[in-house]
């Protein structure tokens, strides 16, 4: 069993090092082998493998099921550009790891360093990890003290550098630049769904009847009736949407038509799309809440652009090489990794090695899940 202590969890970029189960065969590797060089600094295979196995666990646990496959099968799937999913993910991992080293190398420029308390916590966490596990278990994930310690140092510095690298951007954003309008729109779908979830495309006659209803909605709203009430009467729903001229969802023609209005309350003609009909009504020329949210988004985008530009500048000015033969020793297909949520989920299989957080914490796999709602912001 492998344990990650709470202090280790606090010091990682992801917020926690989670419990994991490792299955399959993993050959012995030389953790001191140089997998890449960033400037004058070597990246050892031990550090790279440790980082890769932690990330592999997130993918196999959280993403494989969403993709309708197993962790093992996922890595052989095509990911575009003549790459398997494993090759694509490993390319991203290597670039991320190089960036961590670059950021560490420039930390002094921003007066960023590890405090004595942070150094002690990292050393203690790495020592606890090493002492709590057998050599066999540590060999699978390169979980030796020096590798875990180095990774935690890099992750902690990267976290501390994030705000420093984003400082100094222009935080002034005018209403004109961030302006968000608001509308209500009704969508008359050309597809009907029965109680069993089966979808059917409407006949030509049914589409014509739908167009009649959509035109009735337009006429009645222009005559002064409430769009939500009329839509409900017609068996439809009026959705709220904030948008700007660059929005494309739910329909570009709908956005363009409503965006052209200069008076609140104006209503579009029936707008026909491949999948149905749209009717929109401008409800606000400047939605205050949405505009303020857009301002915050623009400022954050500026910060991220500055962060990315700094990294690109540092990469361009630094010699970076990768030993592909050494990096190829990290194989996801033959060695599976699954995150478990607590020690009670551990398996007793003789072919598995468990890595468990002493507090039962899990690693955040990252990413935002978007779900459709009746109220939203156009993209």
d(CA 102, CA 95): 10
Task: Please name the residue that has the structure tokens 């948008």.
Answer: 243
Integer angstrom CA distances of residue 298 from 164, 179, 287, 366, 375: 18, 11, 16, 22, 21
Q: Kindly report the CATH number that applies to the domain delimited by 181-285.
A: 3.10.50.40
d(CA 45, CA 329): 9
Cα-atom radius of gyration of the chain, to the nearest Å?
Answer: 27
* Residue 83 CB contacts under 8 Å (≥ 6 apart), including other chains: 91
Side-chain-side CA neighbours of 136 within 13 Å: the count stands at 9
Which residues, in sequence order, are bridge partners of residue 90?
A: none
Question: Model's pTM, two decimal places?
Answer: 0.75
Kindly report, residue by residue over 48-73, the tens digit of the pLDDT: 999 998 888 788 878 887 888 887 88
d(CA 221, CA 291): 27
Rank 173-182, 189-198, 345-354 by mean pLDDT and report only the highest. Answer: 173-182
Q: Is the pLDDT of residue 201 over 90?
A: yes
d(CA 22, CA 143): 13
Mean pLDDT across 331-344: 65
Report yes or no: 227 and 217 within 8 Å, Cβ to Cβ.
yes
Report yes or no: 378 and 248 within 8 Å, Cβ to Cβ.
yes
Q: What is the dihedral of CA 303, 306, 307, 308, to 10 degrees?
A: 120
d(CA 249, CA 377): 9
205, burial (CB in 10 Å: exposed 0-12, middle 13-18, buried 19+): exposed
Q: What is the domain partition of the chain in residue ranges?
A: 2-168+300-377, 181-285
Kindly report, residue by residue over 253-272, the tens digit of the pLDDT: 999 999 999 999 999 999 99
Kindly report, residue by residue over 276-328, the tens digit of the pLDDT: 999 999 999 999 999 999 999 999 999 999 999 999 999 999 999 999 999 99
Q: What percent of the chain has pLDDT over 70?
A: 80
């Amino acid at each position: 069993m492998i344990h990650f202590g709470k202090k280790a969890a606090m010091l990682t970029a992801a917020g926690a090092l989670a419990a994991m189960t490792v299955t399959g065969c993993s050959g012995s590797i030389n953790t001191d082998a140089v997998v890449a060089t960033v400037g004058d600094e070597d990246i050892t295979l031990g550090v790279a493998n440790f980082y890769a196995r932690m990330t592999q666990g997130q993918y196999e646990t959280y993403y494989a099921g969403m993709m309708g496959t197993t962790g093992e099968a996922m890595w052989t799937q095509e990911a575009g550009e003549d790459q398997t999913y494993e090759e694509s993910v490993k390319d991203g991992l290597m670039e991320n790891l190089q960036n961590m080293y670059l950021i560490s190398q420039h930390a002094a420029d921003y007066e960023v360093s590890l405090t004595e308390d942070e150094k002690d916590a990292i050393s203690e966490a790495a020592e606890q990890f090493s002492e709590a596990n057998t050599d066999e278990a540590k060999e699978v994930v390169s979980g030796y003290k020096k590798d875990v310690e180095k990774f935690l140092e890099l992750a902690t510095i990267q976290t501390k550098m994030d705000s420093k690298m984003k400082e100094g951007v222009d935080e002034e954003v005018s209403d004109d630049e961030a302006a968000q309008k608001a509308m209500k729109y009704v969508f008359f779908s050309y597809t009907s769904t029965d109680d069993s979830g089966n979808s059917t495309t409407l006949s030509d006659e049914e589409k014509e009847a739908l167009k009649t209803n959509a035109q009735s909605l337009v006429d009645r709203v222009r005559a002064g009736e409430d769009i939500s009430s009329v839509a409900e009467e017609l068996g439809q729903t009026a959705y709220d949407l904030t948008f700007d001229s660059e929005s494309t969802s739910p329909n570009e023609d709908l956005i363009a038509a409503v965006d052209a209005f200069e008076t609140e309350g104006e209503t579009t003609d029936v707008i026909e799309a491949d999948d149905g009909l749209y009717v929109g009504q401008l409800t606000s020329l400047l939605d205050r809440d949405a505009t303020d949210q857009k301002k915050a988004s623009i400022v954050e985008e500026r910060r991220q652009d500055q962060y990315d530009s700094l990294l690109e500048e540092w990469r361009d000015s630094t010699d970076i090489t990768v030993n592909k033969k050494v990096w190829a020793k990290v194989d996801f297909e033959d060695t599976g990794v699954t995150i478990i949520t607590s020690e009670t989920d551990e398996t007793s299989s003789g072919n598995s090695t468990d890595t468990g957080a002493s507090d039962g914490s899990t690693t955040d796999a990252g990413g935002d899940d978007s779900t459709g709602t009746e109220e939203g912001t156009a993209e």
